[in-house]
Amino acid sequence: MTVRTIQFAKLLIRLLITTGLLIWVFSLIDLEQFRQAVKTARWQLLIAVWVLTVIIFWINSIKMQLILKKQACNVRVTTLFGASAVTLFYSMIIPGILSTGVKWYILKKNTGKSTNVLSSMLYNQTSIMVVMTVFGLAALMITNPASLSTANTENQWLLPAVCGMLITVIILVSLLLLNSRAGGKIIKAIGVLLRPLPVKIRQKAQEILEQAAIFQTAGAGFHLTIASITIIVNLIGGVFTYFLSAKAANITAPVGVLVWLCAAIYILGKVPISLANLGVREVTLVGFLAIYGVDKPQALLMSMILFSTIVVMAVIGAMYQLFWTVTANKSKS
């Protein structure tokens, strides 16, 4: 079986999963009620959602520039913004975290430092995942959907307890990894585990680990700066995007619920099982918002508004891709 055949098979499976999830969601929706939800939607808020999304991507590009500087990579914010937009453009075809390979290729070509870029991207993605997971679990612990059910009141403490334990573990592991002494030992341990691998793969992985070790000596100030920007942009900005999208769909939901839904959909979006997170986002919003009394048609409309932000950034990405292609062709001629 050739590589192309395998890639085509994977793409076909993801298409089937995406289609299956969407069909299942739409089977739960009363189309007449959905049409009514569309008619009564506050579409003037859609522009605000799009503008906020662009601002979030721009500030994230500034944050990525700071991270890359630690790896001696100087990249313009416009290039980073364009690379992120192009990544979303390709995410319409290449699912989940796999589409970030496009961003890595663009930045590698721009800097000539593949391992430096990769370790910077890993640090950036890990920091976002940690922040979103910790705050998502905290919001889930506070809102506790299990408390809304009267069927089993004895085990309502279980979800908050599990969330609390997971938060503790994530924070402790993060602190250990960022500590130069403890983190250094962990990197050495990973290096030992890599020994059975082929020489080329082992050497490449070792280079990435060595580059990642640079962040262990970056200092607490640097990590706090990155964490603060991540909280303000990805968490607060993301939740505000969800809030505006909910308002546009005439949905009223507690802010805490929007926090853990935003975190859950972000994390699930990194799992390469669907295209542009289609289906996964719809199932999550329709399923969980129903617990809080939100009608399924309105929840579906909210998910479509959120999907429109991906389309907007994908269009910007397509424009960047076209510009870079034309510029490259002119330079060759």
| Sequence ranges of the domains in the chain | 43-332
Say if residue 81's pLDDT is above 70: yes
CA–CA dist 233, 14 (Å, integer): 30
Residue 179: which pLDDT band, with cuts at 50, 70 and 90?
A: confident
- The CB-side HSE value for 205 (13 A sphere, CA atoms) comes to 16
At 24-51, the pLDDT tens digits run 999 999 999 999 999 999 999 999 999 9
Average pLDDT for the chain:
87
Confidence of residue 100 (pLDDT cuts 50, 70, 90): confident
Rounded to whole angstroms, the Cα distance separating 141 from 162 reads: 9
Q: Note the pTM of the prediction, 2 decimals.
A: 0.87
CB count, 10 Å around CB of 80? Answer: 24
Q: Round the CA-based radius of gyration of the chain to a whole number and report it.
A: 21
What pLDDT does residue 214 have?
79
- Look at residue 93 and tell me whether its pLDDT is greater than 70: yes
How would residue 153 be classed by pLDDT, with cut points 50, 70 and 90?
Answer: low
Higher pLDDT, 62 or 156: 62
Report whether pLDDT(215) > 80.
yes
Which residue in this structure is represented by tokens 């870079």? 324
The mean per-residue pLDDT over the stretch 77-83 comes to 95
What are φ and ψ of residue 288, in 5° steps?
-80, -35
Instruction: Considering only residues 77 and 146, tell me which one the structure prediction assigns the higher pLDDT.
Output: 77
Lowest-confidence range among 26-35, 50-59, 185-194?
185-194
- 175 or 6, greater pLDDT: 175
Q: Is the pLDDT of residue 190 over 80?
A: no
Whether 166 shows a pLDDT value over 70: the answer reads yes
Q: What is the mean pLDDT of residues 13-32?
A: 90
158/154 Cα distance (integer angstroms) = 9
pLDDT of residue 1: 60
How far is CA 2 from each of CA 95, 187, 202, rounded to the nearest angstrom?
20, 35, 25
Say yes or no to pLDDT of 196 above 90.
no
Q: Answer for the pair 269, 309: CB distance below 8 angstroms, yes or no.
A: no
Q: Could you tell me which residue, 79 or 270, shows the higher pLDDT?
A: 79
pLDDT exceeds 90 at position 207 = no
| Per-residue pLDDT, 325 | 86
pLDDT at 165 over 90: yes
